[in-house]
Structure 1
Amino acid sequence: MSADRQLLFGVYFDALRMEDVIARCRTALVTRSRMLLGVLNAAKVVHMRNDPLLRNSLIDCDLLLADGQSIIWASRLLRRPLPERIAGIDVFEGLLTLAHREGRSIYLLGARAEVLAKLQDRLSERFPGLRIVGSHHGYFQASESAAIADDIRASGADMLFLGITSPKKEIFLSAYGGSLGVPILHGVGGSFDIMAGLTKRAPLRWQRWGMEWAYRLLQEPRRLLGRYLVTNSVFILLTAREVIAPARAFQSTKIATHPTPIGSLRH
């Protein structure tokens, strides 16, 4: 195993810092090779054990990063340390900065049409001259997926950012990701809403303390409290199990994704 990878919870994390991630993405742009980015937090560690589609999507990533302070704490406890938390939204911003600086083009897929419009306005203000060569909202039917993939392919985009949830993102990428011709593929989850100014991210101090999850909980306690209690409890148990008997690396499994209806993809 490479010195910059760590096996944790059955998957290989890339033990990199943010500057290393952006540098590898730049190399992928220069060589026109695929760089599928994945981010993993405690919730995904829990859910991937019973979700083969999610698990396969993580195994298939070219870079798998720890987007969750609990992953970092666990890696240190397990003596397989990862250097720092790398949030998906921070990678998104870093890649936008790279695209702006080097004249690279981007495509945005996801969110509601009005959110997408606000996002593009905000990005144009923040990164004047940024090449947004295409976009499509995330609420489309499965029958429209092939046409959207064709539009992405025809755009010649250097980077594709997907603001859609799992497993819909995984279904789309499984069906079309390999044929899009886009070097950088990054699922950014709810980052479209944050960068469009619709939701607030935790203050920088909270982020540094690894308490961004607590800030989200304060914003939506009714929706998130039960979920966090269950997920965090299971994650603690999985970490304890890792201390006693580290999980072997998961292997990709064959599953059919084409028959599964994508339905309305949302942010």
Structure 2
Amino acid sequence: MNVKDRERINVLDVLLDCVDYEDACQRVAAFLNSYSNKVIVTPNAEIIMAAQKDHELKAVLNAADICLPDGIGVVIASKILGKPLVERTTGFDFMMKVLGMADKESLRLFLLGGKPGIAEKAGEKITSMFPNIQIVGSYHGYFNEDDTQKVVSIINNSKPDILLVAMGCPKQEMFMLHNKDKLKFKVAMGVGGSFDVLSGNVNRAPIFMQKVGLEWLYRLLTQPTRFKRMSALPLFLLKVTACRLTKNKEVSV
């Protein structure tokens, strides 16, 4: 799909794809059959707020081939703006769908990120769930800028079809987009703390909380240190509301 054909919604100058899981999976299927590497990012309210001050992050998000809205906050924002998203999507659930696609095609997977040893544990879990996936390599996310070329070489030598990058925002987005022309892969996706979940180090919210969009509350209750980060959500919604009101005034003038 060409960039011109993409339907996107502008949320505080971050362009989010208006897609559901099915549409996003169809795009990934096309990416896997193409000859150029594609990058997937999954910004939530916190990341969009960070992009308000970090213009490089904003540019990187908007340069991605899929910018999948992650979390209930972004869904609420889309409704405030009068352009409701098709459905609530999460980066973790979309990653699992991508892994399901990889399993059917026996694709090659490289895991980058997490503390030393976490990517390996995540790889073991992925192999148990998706036995046809070939884990061709892994590397922790605690490397500095001087080691970037070495990491790029390690990834390229493993010849992955899919690269999962779990280094948190904005490091994972910067790594994927800044090194896109140096790296050899078909699809790369930023997956945040997903390796911690797969390895068993962190639990996801109960299913009922996931369904009603309260994963953020579960994370806050189980990780109180996230309180400062979570404060970005109400500020985000206030900023989106102010943006909508300003536009309404402009239209009425």
TM (norm. structure 2) is 0.90
Counterpart AA for 2:10? L
Specify whether residues 146 and 74 from structure 1 end up closer, same or farther in structure 2 by C-alpha distance, changes over 3 A only.
Answer: same
**Matched ranges for 1:215-254 at <5 A:** 215-221=218-224, 223-229=225-231, 231-246=232-247
Q: Is the 8 A contact 1:53 1:167 kept in 2?
A: no
Q: Which residue of 2 aligns with 1:53?
A: 56
Counterpart AA for 1:186? M
**Matched ranges for 1:206-217 at <5 A:** 206-217=209-220
Q: Give me the whole-angstrom Cα distance separating, in 2, the residues matched to 1:3 and 1:124.
A: 34
Which shows bigger deviation, 208-217 or 171-180? 171-180
Q: Give me the whole-angstrom Cα distance separating, in 2, the residues matched to 1:57 and 1:3.
A: 17
Specify whether residues 16 and 108 from structure 1 end up closer, same or farther in structure 2 by C-alpha distance, changes over 3 A only.
Answer: same
What's the C-alpha RMSD, in Å, of the aligned pairs?
1.6
Q: Is the 8 A contact 2:11 2:240 kept in 1?
A: no
Which structure is higher in RCO with an 8 Å CA cutoff and minimum separation 6? Answer: 1
Q: Is the 8 A contact 1:112 1:137 kept in 2?
A: yes
Counterpart AA for 1:55? K
Q: Give me the whole-angstrom Cα distance separating, in 1, the residues matched to 2:226 and 2:174.
A: 25
Match of 2:138 among 135, 138, 150: 135
Q: Which residue of 1 aligns with 2:103?
A: 100
Which shows bigger deviation, 160-169 or 186-195? 160-169
TM (norm. structure 1) is 0.86
Q: Which residue of 2 aligns with 1:123?
A: 126
SS in structure 2 of the partner of residue 185 of structure 1: strand
Kindly provide the CA deviation profile for residues 81-140 of structure 1, in whole angstroms up to 9, marking residues without a partner as x.
Answer: 101122111111111111111111111101122212211211111111321111111122
Q: Is the 8 A contact 2:159 2:184 kept in 1?
A: yes
1:47, CA displacement in angstroms?
Answer: 1.1
**Runs of 5+ consecutive residues of structure 1 not aligned to the other structure:** 247-267
Q: Is the 8 A contact 2:31 2:38 kept in 1?
A: yes
Q: Give me the whole-angstrom Cα distance separating, in 1, the residues matched to 2:158 and 2:16.
A: 32
SS in structure 1 of the partner of residue 179 of structure 2: helix
Q: Give me the whole-angstrom Cα distance separating, in 2, the residues matched to 1:172 and 1:63.
A: 16
Q: Is the 8 A contact 2:120 2:138 kept in 1?
A: no
**Runs of 5+ consecutive residues of structure 2 not aligned to the other structure:** 248-253
Q: Which residue of 1 aligns with 2:251?
A: none
Counterpart AA for 1:195? L
Which shows bigger deviation, 135-144 or 66-75? 135-144
SS in structure 1 of the partner of residue 92 of structure 2: helix
Counterpart AA for 1:114? G
1:71, CA displacement in angstroms?
Answer: 0.9
Number of positions where the alignment pairs a residue of Structure 1 with one of Structure 2: 244
Q: Is the 8 A contact 1:53 1:170 kept in 2?
A: no
1:57, CA displacement in angstroms?
Answer: 1.3
Q: Is the 8 A contact 2:113 2:166 kept in 1?
A: yes
Match of 2:174 among 171, 175, 183: 171
Specify whether residues 115 and 49 from structure 1 end up closer, same or farther in structure 2 by C-alpha distance, changes over 3 A only.
Answer: same
Q: Give me the whole-angstrom Cα distance separating, in 1, the residues matched to 2:141 and 2:83.
A: 38
Q: Give me the whole-angstrom Cα distance separating, in 2, the residues matched to 1:3 and 1:33.
A: 18
Specify whether residues 185 and 143 from structure 1 end up closer, same or farther in structure 2 by C-alpha distance, changes over 3 A only.
Answer: same
Which shows bigger deviation, 2-11 or 69-78? 2-11
Match of 2:44 among 30, 41, 47: 41
Identity value in percent: 31
Counterpart AA for 1:106? L
Q: Give me the whole-angstrom Cα distance separating, in 2, the residues matched to 1:174 and 1:64.
A: 13
1:3, CA displacement in angstroms?
Answer: 7.0
Q: Which residue of 2 aligns with 1:259?
A: none
Q: Give me the whole-angstrom Cα distance separating, in 2, the residues matched to 1:226 and 1:141.
A: 26
SS in structure 1 of the partner of residue 86 of structure 2: coil
